[in-house]
Amino acid sequence: MGALLVITTVPDPGLAVKVAEALVHARIAACVHALPPGQSTYRWQDKVETSAETTLLIKTTAEKYPELEAALRGLHPYEIPEILALPVSAGWPPYLAWIHDATA
């Protein structure tokens, strides 16, 4: 199966660590990289909101995506969390193989 880069945001770095450890421990993510907290501006319930969030870059496979999405929905405090899966069209073959092996 092909590799995916899944993006989500969480409200704080502590939750980012919890989510990352759960996904890697369950072998549904090979790696989760947490970016420094940043600011998100978005429309929610007809109001413009601004909040600090930590972005997670999750490396997984297309085969594991349904399980990953379900886990994120269960771990996430947001009513509608950001969960975006981007296909990896190219990458260093040994790294792509590692993603597959780490999630097998």
**pLDDT tens string 46-90:** 999 999 999 999 999 999 999 999 999 999 999 999 999 999 999
Residue-level pLDDT at 1: 63
CA 19, 24, 27, 31 torsion-angle sign: positive
pTM: 0.95
Pick the CATH number of 3-102 from 2.40.50.100, 3.40.50.1700, 3.30.43.10, 3.30.70.120: 3.30.70.120
Sorted by sequence, the CB contacts under 8 Å of residue 30 that are 6+ apart come out as: 24, 59, 60, 98, 99, 101, 102, 103
